[in-house]
């Protein structure tokens, strides 16, 4: 057993946990929706869509527009997003040394995201984190249902070869936390701007700084 005590593996969400990608995403979605006549701020986009799959996000906004969003807009969004990532994407503060520390302790690490696999791979490459996850990348496209369904976390545990009860999930959104809990895993809520989603009401521990994760995992 490693130094995490009762934990044998750590599974990270991607957007908002490893990568500070959400502000860029919300900014682009806001711009594109305005072109369709739906005026919405990037912050309102975040509140409405944080943690959702791409499909669920667009379905949400189609419902509010009461008409389909053209395919070309969705393709434009993906192209603009990857372009912005290559120009401006940064890791979440403190996450790189934390990932390196866990990796140095021989703790199996993986990423489970509601985003598509190609985008996740691009993000990790840009942040130079790919090596530390040993190709253990899991996308909602690989399971029947994305978060808040537990499917993606159960798949990650199976591929790692660990019982869900011995896995720790690091999440920053309500759907992600719900997915981790439903999978029977220990969930830690990363809340760099405070617990705006009231995650601690779900009975999980929350933390504001990545440095705190080392103590929460009892690595000392």
pLDDT in tens, the chain (220 residues): 233 457 999 999 999 999 999 999 999 999 999 999 999 999 999 999 999 999 999 999 999 999 999 999 999 999 999 999 999 999 999 999 999 999 999 999 999 999 999 999 999 999 999 999 999 999 999 999 999 999 999 999 999 999 999 999 999 999 999 999 999 999 999 999 999 889 999 999 999 999 999 999 987 5
Q: Are residues 191 and 99 in the same domain?
A: yes
Q: Are residues 193 and 96 in the same domain?
A: yes
- CB contact set of 194 (below 8 Å; sequence gap of 6+): 208
Cα torsion 45, 210, 112, 52 to 10°: value is -10
**Angle at alpha carbon of residue 150, lines to 210 and 25, rounded to 5°:** 55
Q: Are residues 170 and 142 in the same domain?
A: yes
Residue 85 main-chain phi, psi, to 5 deg: -60, -45
Residues 21/89, Cβ–Cβ less than 8 Å: yes
Q: Are residues 208 and 122 in the same domain?
A: yes
Q: Are residues 99 and 207 in the same domain?
A: yes
User: Domain residues for 175?
Assistant: 9-20+90-216
Q: Are residues 150 and 137 in the same domain?
A: yes
Q: How many CB atoms lie within 10 A of CB 56?
A: 16
pLDDT of residue 196: 87
pLDDT of residue 5: 52
In a domain, residue 109? The reply is yes
Length of the chain: 220
pLDDT of residue 82: 96
- The domain boundary, picked from 67, 88, 109, lies at 88
Q: How many domains does the chain have?
A: 2
- The domain boundary, picked from 88, 103, 137, lies at 88
Q: Are residues 205 and 99 in the same domain?
A: yes
């Amino acid at each position: 057993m490693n130094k995490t005590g009762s934990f044998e593996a750590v599974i990270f969400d991607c957007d908002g946990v490893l990568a500070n990608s959400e502000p860029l995403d919300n900014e682009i979605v806001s711009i594109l929706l305005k072109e369709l006549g739906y005026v919405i701020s990037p912050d309102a986009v975040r509140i409405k869509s944080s943690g959702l799959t791409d499909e669920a996000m667009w379905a949400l906004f189609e419902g509010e527009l009461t008409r389909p969003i053209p395919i070309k807009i969705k393709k434009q969004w993906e192209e603009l997003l990857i372009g912005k990532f290559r120009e401006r994407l940064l890791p979440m503060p403190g996450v790189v040394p934390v990932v390196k520390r866990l990796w140095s302790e021989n703790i199996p690490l993986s990423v489970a995201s509601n985003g598509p696999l190609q985008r996740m791979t691009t993000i990790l490459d840009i942040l130079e984190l790919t090596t530390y996850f040993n190709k253990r990348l899991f996308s909602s496209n690989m399971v029947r249902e994305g978060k808040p369904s537990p499917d993606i976390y159960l798949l990650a545990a199976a591929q790692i070869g660990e019982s869900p009860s011995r896995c720790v999930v690091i999440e920053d959104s309500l759907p992600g936390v719900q997915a981790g809990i439903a999978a029977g895993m220990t969930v830690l809520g990363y809340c760099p701007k405070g617990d705006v989603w009231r995650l601690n009401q779900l009975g999980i521990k929350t933390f504001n700084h990545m440095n705190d994760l080392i103590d929460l995992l009892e690595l000392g």
